[in-house]
Amino acid sequence: MSDIAQIRPSVNTVRLLRTMLPALSMTLILLAIAWLNPRAISYFGFSLMLNLAIPIALATVAQMFVITINELDLSIGTFVGFVACVTATWLHDAPLFGVLVLVAAVGVYAGLGALIHLRNLPSIVVTLGMSFVWQGLAILILPKPGGAAPDWLKGFMGFQTPFVPFPIIAAVVIGLVVHFGLMRSAYGAVLRGAGGNQQAIGRAGWSLLKTKVVMFALTGTFGVISGMALIGITTSADANIGNGYTLLSIAGVILGGGEFVGGRVSPIGAVIGALTLALAASPLLTFMHIPPDWQVAANGVIL
């Protein structure tokens, strides 16, 4: 009995530390930025530093959905690039056709979930193959950098809010909406159960196939929103624009307290992890006067 009593506090301590990890990581990054450049801790400074944080946060949440069911998506980066190219071309020039293409892309993601479950295929292999498909389609749509973001999208992503920068407000909204949908709703518990205890979900009468299809469809949906948000900020597209998002999204989920198995994730933590990565990826390294050629390696060391 005493051994169990000793084990339980240690388990609770580990869970508490995992919960605190995202906020602690961001606090350390912010303290470092404040020490290196105090003027950056301002409305204008945060607006610049977190300019690209929203697409990263959305891609991280997209990755979180598949990690929740013990899968991994190695195609989310190239998918974001594909969506960016569609948004900057077809959605701009022929909105209805562009919308149909994006809806079809979400349907492809849902189909991947069904394929992985029905054929018992490793998601890493399937999504790695799809990463080349999305990349190839993006190059076919936009062989060279160009295109233009729809005016309504540029206006939305460039919206200036009073007192608190728009990226922070958007991050809070994303985190809370996904948190209540996945962590507080009854069906959210079922979706998480598909990663934590598949046998119990099956015995309760829920379809594991349906849960995987839903989670992959959610991944595709948030991937579409991420690509559109990215183009709303950059105003033009490139087939390679989202390639770095795959590893960033995985790192954001793990930095946010998520785990690769067991359905243990934190939507709010994932968003905080994404913001931390956005701050560490460029602003912090720039203030440290690290040459651009070394910033990728330095970013890996920080992580």
> Among the ranges 28-37, 200-209, 231-240, 256-265, which has the highest mean pLDDT value?
231-240
Q: Is residue 251 part of a domain?
A: yes
Structure tokens at 61: 């949440």
Confidence of residue 3 (pLDDT cuts 50, 70, 90): low
Mean pLDDT of the chain: 89
Non-local CB neighbours of 178 within 8 Å, separated by 6+ positions: 61, 64, 267, 271
**pLDDT tens digits along 22-74:** 888 888 889 988 898 888 888 888 888 898 899 999 999 999 999 999 999 99
Q: Which has the closest alpha carbon to 250: 69, 64, 70, 26? A: 64
Q: Is residue 22 part of a domain?
A: no
Rounded CA separation 298/232 (Å) = 28
Q: Is residue 29 part of a domain?
A: no
Whether residue 11 has pLDDT greater than 70: no
Integer-rounded Cα radius of gyration of the chain = 20
Q: How far is CA 80 from CA 17, 60, 114, 220, in A?
A: 32, 11, 21, 9
DSSP string of 110-137, one letter each residue: HHHHHHHHHTT--HHHHHHHHHHHHHHH
- pLDDT of 41: 87
Structure tokens at 78: 């190239």
- pLDDT of 286: 75
Q: Is residue 17 part of a domain?
A: no
DSSP string of the chain, one letter each residue: -HHHHHHHHHHHHHHHHHHHHHHHHHHHHHHHHHHH-GGGSSHHHHHHHTTTHHHHHHHHHHHHHHHHTT---S-HHHHHHHHHHHHHTHHHH-HHHHHHHHHHHHHHHHHHHHHHHHTT--HHHHHHHHHHHHHHHHHHH-SSSB----HHHHHHHT---SSS-HHHHHHHHHHHHHHIIIIISHHHHHHHHHHH-HHHHHHTT--HHHHHHHHHHHHHHHHHHHHHHHHHHHSSB-TTTTTTHHHHHHHHHHHTT--SSTT---HHHHHHHHHHHHHHHTHHHHHTT--HHHHHHHHHHH-
**pLDDT tens digits along 61-110:** 999 999 999 999 999 999 999 999 999 999 999 999 999 999 999 999 99
Total number of domains in the chain:
1
**pLDDT tens digits along 124-161:** 999 999 999 999 999 999 999 999 999 999 999 988 88
Q: Is residue 5 part of a domain?
A: no
**pLDDT tens digits along 241-298:** 999 899 999 999 998 888 887 778 999 999 999 999 888 877 777 777 777 777 677 7
Q: Is residue 181 part of a domain?
A: yes
Stronger pLDDT, 168 or 287, i.e. the higher one: 168
Q: pTM (2 decimals)?
A: 0.92
Q: Is residue 10 part of a domain?
A: no
Whether residue 174 has pLDDT greater than 90: yes
Confidence of residue 164 (pLDDT cuts 50, 70, 90): very high
Mean pLDDT of 217-228: 98
Q: Is residue 4 part of a domain?
A: no
Structural domain of 274: 47-302
Rounded CA separation 219/177 (Å) = 15
